[in-house]
Chains A and B, each alone.
Chain A
Amino acid sequence: AQTVTQSQPEMSVQEAETVTLSCTYDTSESNYYLFWYKQPPSRQMILVIRQEAYKQQNATENRFSVNFQKAAKSFSLKISDSQLGDTAMYFCAIHTGNQFYFGTGTSLTVIP
């Protein structure tokens, strides 16, 4: 069975600062893919960034980057230069086999 754990239910950050959201996972599969999704108050789920487990290089998308530690089964999301529009719920997910498995989410608030 696959599990995804997000141990920080709520976080806050000052505008323009950097924040890191934690995610750990457990899987016995050797081939899998990792994702971070954002859910703003509009409730629409939006892909933030993805990482192939077979790639050692950490993925980066503009202000968003990941720290992928395969041996530790850790996949954290770093948001640089936080903006008010980053206020949202963030979900970590793993795609393996035929399904996606999601964590319980971290609610991030960016403070002006």
Chain B
Amino acid sequence: DADVTQTPRNRITKTGKRIMLECSQTKGHDRMYWYRQDPGLGLQLIYYSFDVKDINKGEISDGYSVSRQAQAKFSLSLESAIPNQTALYFCATSAGQGNDEQFFGPGTRLTVL
């Protein structure tokens, strides 16, 4: 089984709809992240969390919110989706030490019509 899972893998929705993307991990890591990937822009950080009671905004948090329900679960919500939120979304985890890599989920392809 994959260490970091994301649901759904693909989603098409309409403008104004509320969408939740879910992420679960079995790595036992405290740190979890949500990124957005757009062509030509690389990965941009939306939110990150270092434990259940810790939530931090990244560089592009406007229009998004998150919930850290447990150490293993970190959800991203779009309260009212808009077309420019069409992108590939990644969840990632890390153990927190400097040279520790991030482990990524398989990504969610979100299309907002």
Q: Do A and B come from one complex?
A: yes
Binding site for B on A (CB under 8 A): 4, 6, 9, 31-33, 35, 42-45, 47, 50, 52, 91, 95, 98-100, 102-105
Chain B residue numbers with a CB within 8 Å of A100 are 33, 45, 94, 102
Report the minimum CB–CB distance from B36 to chain A (whole Å): 11
- Contact status B45-A50, CB under 8 Å: no
Residues of B within 8 A of A (CB): 33, 40-45, 48, 50, 56, 58, 88, 90, 92, 94, 98-99, 101-102, 104, 106-107
**Chain B residues with CB below 8 A from A44, complex form:** 104, 106-107
Residues of A within 8 Å of B33, CB to CB, are 100
**Do A104 and B90 have beta carbons less than 8 Å apart?**
no
- Chain B interface main SS type: strand
* Given A32-B98, A35-B101, A104-B42, 5 further pairs, Cβ under 8 A: A31-B98, A44-B104, A45-B104, A52-B98, A99-B48
Residues of A within 8 A of B104 (CB): 44-45
Q: With the chains together, A103 CA to B43 CA distance in Å?
A: 8
Q: How far is the CA of A42 from the CA of B90 in the complex (A)?
A: 13
Which residues from A are CB-within-8-Å of B44?
102
- In the assembly, what is the distance between CA of A105 and CA of B47, in Å? 21
**Which are the 8 A-B pairs with shortest beta-carbon distances?**
A45-B104, A104-B42, A102-B43, A102-B42, A47-B101, A33-B99, A33-B98, A43-B107
